Structure 1
Amino acid sequence: MIPYVNPHSLKLGPIEPFGIFVALGIFLAARIVVKQSAKQGLDPNPIHDYAPWGVGVGVVVGHLVHLFFYHPEELSKSPFQILKVWDGLSSFGGLLGGIIAAIIYFRVRGVSFAKYADAFALGVAPGWAVARIGCFVAHDHPGIRTDFFLAVNFPAATYGGPRHDLGLYDAVALFAIAGVLFALRNSGKLQNRLLHMLALLYAPFRFFFDSLRATDLHYVDARYFGLTPAQYCCILLVAYGLWGLATKRASQPGSTPSSTASGSVKPAR
C-alpha cells in the first residue's frame, strides 16, 4: 500500500506540486509534438505558434468545465469564481479547450491539422500522463475504499482509510498507451490514425476509473444519470475513434516527408 503524503508539505513557496507537474506535462507534450512533426517532414513553426493558444484556451475551458459540470456548487461562493482559472481544472475540459483552439488556429492559418494529428497523439499521451502524476501527488481524485495493493493509505480521520487514487491509475494507463502509440508509429501501422487510436485506448480506462470515484466524501464530482461528465466524454471518444479508424486512410497525400517538404504545408512564419 502506498503511504499518504500531505501535498501541502511538498509546496515550494507558493508553488503547488500539482502546477509543477502540469507545466512539465505541457512542456513534454509540446516538445514531442514538435520533434515528431519534424520527423515527418512537417514545418514545426505552426506547433510553436499554436502552443500558447492551446494552453491558454485549455486552461480557461478546463476551469469552466470544472465549475459548471463537475462542481456547480462553487458558483455560490462568489461571482468572481469564474475568473479564478487556477482554482479547479478539468482535464477533459482542458483537452476540449485545446481542440477548440486547434480547430480555429489551424483553420485561420490555412494549415492542415490532419497532417499533424499523429504527432499530437504521440505528444498528448505522455504529456497528459505527467500532468496526472500531479493529480496523484495532490491526491485530488480519491476513489472508493479498498485494500488494493496500489491503494493510498489516506488518513482515516478525513478519508476513512485506504482508497484508490485515480490520478495514479490514470498516469499509469496513459504511459502504457503512449508506449503502444510509439510502437505503432515505429511499425508504420495506423498511419494518420494514431489520434483516433489514442481516443479508443484511453476511453475504456477512464470510464472504468471514474466508476471507482468516491461518492461518500464531502467534495465529490457531480453525476448525471449515474455517470460523471468524463464518462460521457469517453462515449464521445469511442465514437470519434471508431469513426476515424473506419474512414481515415492509412496513407494520405502530403503525409510523408517527401510530399510535405515540397511545400504542401503552409509555414506559419
Structure 2
Amino acid sequence: MASPLIWHADPILFSLGPLSVRWYGLFFACAFICGMIWMQYVFKKEGKDADALEPLLYRIMAGVIIGARLGHCLFYEPGYYLSNPVEILKIWEGGLASHGGILGLFIALYVHSRKYEETPFFWLADHLMVAGCMGAAFIRLGNFFNSELVGIPVKSGWGIVFSRVDMIPRHPVQLYESMAYATCSLLLFLAWKKGAGQIPFRLTAIALILAATARILLEIFKTQQTAFAFPVHMGQLLSLPFLFCGILLYLYSRKNPPATRHRHKKTQ
C-alpha cells in the first residue's frame, strides 16, 4: 500500500520585516488578475468602453471581499459575530465564505451596470462567469496551502496527511473542488465560443448549475464546519438556492433570443 503524502506547506510565502505574504493571498489575487485579463479581452473583442474596466475591478473587489466576509460571519458563526460586531472588521484573521462572495459579486455587477449602460447586468455576469470559476479554482488552491477545509479521513493509502491539522490521511477535497471549478471554467469558455454569451443569462445559469452541483457533491468529502442536527453541511444548504436560481435562469434563457450587439453611451 502506498504511503500517503505528508503536506506541511508553510501558509506564509515570504516575509519582509513585519509584512508577510501568504499563499492564500497570492491565489486570491490571481483570481482577480485572471478575471481582469479575461474582461480586458472580452471588452476589446466586443468593442466596449475600456475606461469602465478599472471601476469594474474596484467594485468587484469590494463586493467579493465584503460579501465573503459577511457571509462567513453570518452563515457560519452568527452568534459570535453578532455579539462581537467589531470582530467582523478583522478580515486579516481569516474567515471568508464563497457563497457570500458570489452574492457580493452580483451586487457589484448590478451597481456597475447601472452606471455603464453599454454593459448590462446580464452581459457582465455571463462573461465574467468564465473567469469567475477559474478564480474559484485558484482560491481553493489557497485553502490547500493553508491546510484548511480539509477532507474526511480515507482508509486507502492515497490520501494526504495535513500535518498542521493531524496525522490522519484525508481527502484533498480542496484539490477536488479546484479541479471541478477549473473544468467548469473550461466548459463555460467552450460555450462562450459557440455564442452562448449572446443569450442573456445562459452562461450565468450554466455556471451556477455546474458550480453548485459540484459543491453539493464534494461537500460529502469535507469535514463539517458547523454543528448541525441534520446530516448536511452548511455549504450544501447554501448551494441549493444557487442551483435553483441557475435552473430558473437557464429556463429563462431558453425563452429569450440572443441579445443584439449594440452600444449605449456611458451615463454620467
Please, what TM-score do these two structures have when normalized by structure 2? Answer: 0.84
Say if 1:34 and 1:44, in contact at 8 Å, map to a contact too.
yes
Contact 1:207–1:234 (CA under 8 A) maintained in structure 2: yes
1:201 maps to what in 2? 210
Q: Which residue of 1 aligns with 2:22?
A: 16
Shift in Å at residue 176 of structure 1?
A: 0.9
The yes-or-no answer on 1:40 pairing with 2:43 is no
Native 8 Å contact 1:177 1:202 kept in 2: yes
Q: Cα–Cα, structure 1 residues 153 and 55, in superposed 2: closer, same or farther, change >3 Å?
A: same
Per mean C-alpha deviation after superposition, the further-off stretch among 62-71 and 1-10 is: 1-10
Check 1:148–1:199 CA distance in 2 against 1; reply closer, same or farther (3 A cut). farther
SS in 2 for 1:266: coil
Tell me which amino acid in the other structure corresponds to 1:71. E
Equivalent residues in 2 for 1:59-208, closer than 5 Å: 59-72=65-78, 74-75=80-81, 78-86=84-92, 87-110=94-117, 111-147=119-155, 151-155=159-163, 158-189=165-196, 191-192=198-199, 193-208=202-217
Per the alignment, residue 8 of structure 2 pairs with: 5
| Cα distance per residue 1:91-124 (max 9 Å; x no partner) | 2211111111222231244441222333111111
The match for 1:236 is 241
- Separation in 2 of the partners of 1:211 and 1:161? 18
Is the contact made by 2:109 and 2:125 (CA closer than 8 Å) also made in structure 1?
A: no
**Percent of aligned positions that are identical:** 23
SS of residue matched to 1:140: coil
AA of the residue aligned to 2:51: N
CA distance in 2: counterparts of 1:27 and 1:149, whole angstroms: 37
Whether the aligned pair in 1 keeps the contact of 2:35 and 2:132 (CA below 8 Å) is yes
- Relative to structure 1, the CA distance from residue 15 to residue 78 in structure 2 (aligned partners, 3 Å threshold; closer, same or farther) is farther
Residues 266, 151 of structure 1: alpha-carbon distance in 2 compared, 3 angstrom cutoff: farther
The answer to whether residue 262 in structure 2 is matched with residue 253 in structure 1 is no
Cα RMSD (Å) of the superposition?
Answer: 2.6
Provide structure 2 residue ranges, at least 5 long, that are not aligned to the other structure. none
Amino acid across the alignment from 2:146: A
Note if contact 2:24-2:142 (Cα within 8 Å) is conserved in structure 1. Answer: yes
Question: Tell me, which stretches of 5 or more residues in structure 1 are unaligned?
Answer: none
CA contact (8 A) 2:67 2:101 kept: yes
Larger relative contact order (Cα-Cα within 8 Å, sequence gap ≥ 6): 1
SS of residue matched to 2:171: strand
- Does the residue aligned with 2:152 lie in a helix, a strand or coil? strand
Q: 1:223 to 1:189 in 2, by over 3 A?
A: same
How far apart in 2 are the matches of 1:221 and 1:107?
A: 37
Give me the whole-angstrom Cα distance separating, in 2, the residues matched to 1:170 and 1:132: 7
Within 1, Cα distance between the matches of 2:231 and 2:14? 36
Could you tell me how far 1:158 is from its partner in structure 2? Answer: 4.3
Q: Contact conserved, 2:150 with 2:223, CA < 8 A, in 1? A: yes
* Contact kept in structure 2, 1:7 and 1:137, CA below 8 Å: yes
Q: Check whether the contact 2:147–2:162 (CA below 8 A) recurs between aligned residues.
A: no
Between Structure 1 and Structure 2, how many residues are aligned? 257
My pick for the range that moved more, 70-79 or 223-232, is 70-79
**1:115-169 C-alpha deviation (Å, 9 max, x unpaired):** 23331111111122112211111121112101456632123x9435111232211
Whether the aligned pair in 1 keeps the contact of 2:23 and 2:146 (CA below 8 Å) is yes
Which range moved further: 29-38 or 223-232?
Answer: 223-232
Equivalent position of 1:267 in the other structure: 266
Task: Check the 8 A contact 1:146/1:162 in 2, yes or no.
Answer: yes
Going from structure 1 to structure 2, the CA distance change for 1:91 and 1:149 (only over 3 Å counts) comes to farther
Given the two structures, how large is their TM-score scaled by the length of structure 1? 0.83
